[in-house]
Amino acid sequence: MLRGGKIGLRARYEADIPVLRTELYDDVAGASRAEGVPWRPITPGSNDPRLVVDDKEQGRVQFSVVELRGGALIGTAALWGIDNHHRSAHLGLGLLPSARGKGYSTDVVAVLCHYGFVVRGLQRLQIETLADNTPMLRAAERNGFVREGLLRSSHWAMGEFLDEVVFGLLVQEWKPAMWSPAR
């Protein structure tokens, strides 16, 4: 497990899938804002590609997010679009409604940066988020990400086009957190 100050990133357990599906992906409005594709129902018990980890897939690494105190599942995080030639990747996360507003997003982004830069040896990490997603905007900025652009009306969700903000962070700009995520 990779550890931050408040959270840990660990492998996805089978028992995590029903919780994540119910709390994150069955929320039509929330999932529509978080995903780049239209929401659709997934049959219970089926292999939901958003949640089932394919250990052979090289371009995506998925984690379950847990609280360090008590070990409760609080969300999901991923490095995706991993490009080993250009040494870059995108990162994203989703927290259960009960875990929002507690400062976990900043910690998750910090641990994903450690994983991307230290463990994977990447040069660049990128975040795309909706312009009104204040918690993710703050988490990116607190971790040193630079706002690189605004994609106007680029995300269709629940009957409207929304703006997206693009952030980037280069390894030489990264300032590791004071705590050691690898402990």
| Total tally of structural domains belonging to the chain | 1
Q: What range does the domain containing 41 cover?
A: 2-173
**Residue 8 is assigned to a structural domain of this protein:** yes
**Residue 181 is assigned to a structural domain of this protein:** no
Return all residues near 179 (Cβ < 8 A) that are at least 6 apart.
3, 4, 5
Q: Work out the burial of residue 101: count CB atoms within 10 Å of its CB; fewer than 13 is exposed, 13-18 middle, 19 or more buried.
A: exposed
Please state the pTM of the whole predicted model: 0.91
**Residue 155 is assigned to a structural domain of this protein:** yes
- Can you give the CATH number for the domain in which 132 is found? 3.40.630.30
Give pLDDT tens digits along the chain (183 positions).
999 999 999 999 999 998 988 888 888 888 788 887 788 887 777 777 677 777 777 899 999 999 999 999 999 999 999 999 999 999 999 999 999 999 999 999 999 999 999 999 999 999 999 999 999 999 999 999 999 999 999 999 889 999 999 999 999 999 987 555 554
**Residue 180 is assigned to a structural domain of this protein:** no
The amino acid sitting at 80 is W
Measure CA of the first residue to CA of the last residue in the chain; give whole Å.
9
